[in-house]
Amino acid sequence: MRILSKTEPMKKKNALRAVLAVLVAVLVAGCLYLDSLMPIITGYAAKNLASAVFVSGREQADMEALDLHFSFIRYTRNKVDTASRTVTSRFLWRKATAVYRDGWGVTLLRGGRLADLQAEPYPLAPAVAVPERLTHGNPALTLRLEPIATKLVDEHAYNGTPFAFVVLHEGKLVAERYRAGMDEGTKLLSWSMAKSFTNALVGIMARDSLVDVFAPMDIPEWQGDGRRAITLSDMMQMQSGLAWNEDYGNRSDVNLMLHREPDMGLFALSKPLEYEPGTHWYYSSGSTNAVMRYLRGKFASDAAFLSYLRERLFLPLGINDAVFEPDMSGTPVGSSYLYVTARDYARFGQLYLDDGCAGGERILPEGWVSYTTTPASASEGGYGAFFWLNRDRSVPDAPEDMFSCQGHDGQEIFIIPSRDLVVVILGYSPRPDRVIDFNALLRDILAEL
pLDDT digits (tens, 9 = 90+) for 283-318: 999 999 999 999 999 999 999 999 999 999 999 999
Length of the chain: 449
Burial of 415 per CB tally in 10 Å (0-12, 13-18, 19+):
buried
The band of 237, judged by pLDDT with boundaries at 50, 70 and 90, is very high
Higher per-residue confidence, 289 vs 121: 289
pLDDT score, position 248: 78
pLDDT reported for residue 133? 80
| Residue 193 pLDDT level (bands cut at 50, 70, 90) | very high
How far apart, in Å, are the Cα atoms of 181 and each of 62, 165, 186, 279, 335? 10, 14, 9, 47, 27
**Does the pLDDT of residue 255 top 90, yes or no?**
yes
Neighbours of 78 (CB within 10 A): 21
Max CA pair span of the chain: 103
pLDDT of residue 284: 98
The answer to whether 281 and 378 have CB atoms below 8 angstroms apart is yes
Q: Mean per-residue pLDDT for 368-373?
A: 98
Q: Among 29-33, 160-164, 231-235, whose mean pLDDT is lowest?
A: 29-33
Rg of the chain (C-alpha set): 24
User: For residues 383 and 438, what is the distance between their CA atoms, to the nearest angstrom?
Assistant: 18
pLDDT on residue 143: 97
Q: How far apart are CA 177 and CA 185, in angstroms?
A: 12
pLDDT band at 233 (very low <50, low <70, confident <90, very high): very high
Of the options 3.30.9.10, 3.40.710.10, 3.30.1370.60, 3.40.50.300, the CATH number for the domain spanning 139-448: 3.40.710.10
pLDDT band at 352 (very low <50, low <70, confident <90, very high): very high
Tell me, what's the pLDDT at 330?
93
Residue 328 pLDDT exceeds 80: yes
**Over the stretch 22-64, which tens digit does the pLDDT of each residue have?**
676 666 555 556 667 789 999 999 999 999 999 999 999 999 9
pLDDT at 364 over 60: yes
Q: Do residues 300 and 317 lie in contact, with contact meaning Cβ atoms separated by under 8 Å?
A: no
Q: How far apart are CA 171 and CA 353, in angstroms?
A: 9
Mean pLDDT score of the chain: 92
- Which of 445, 396, 429 shows the shortest CA–CA distance to 156? 429
Query: Which is more confidently placed, 36 or 198?
Result: 198
Please state, for a pLDDT cut of 90, what percent of the chain lies above it: 81
Higher-confidence residue of 101 and 18: namely 101
Determine the Cα–Cα distance for residues 108 and 337; give it in Å rounded to an integer: 11
Give the up-direction half-sphere exposure of residue 98: CA atoms within 13 A in the CB hemisphere. Answer: 35
Query: Where are the alpha helices (H) located in 215-284, listed in sequence order?
Result: 232-236, 253-260, 264-269
* Per-residue pLDDT at 2: 58
Distance CA 385, CA 97 (A): 34
Contact 347, 318 (CB under 8 A): yes
Q: Tell me what the mean pLDDT of segment 107-123 comes to.
A: 82
Would you list the domain boundaries of the chain?
A: 8-118, 139-448
Question: Which whole number is the average pLDDT over 352-372?
Answer: 97
Q: Is the pLDDT of residue 124 over 90?
A: no
Indicate the pairing of strand 338-340 with strand 188-189.
antiparallel
Cα dist from 378 to 240, 385, 394, 400, whole Å: 11, 12, 16, 18
Sign of CA dihedral 307, 311, 313, 314: positive
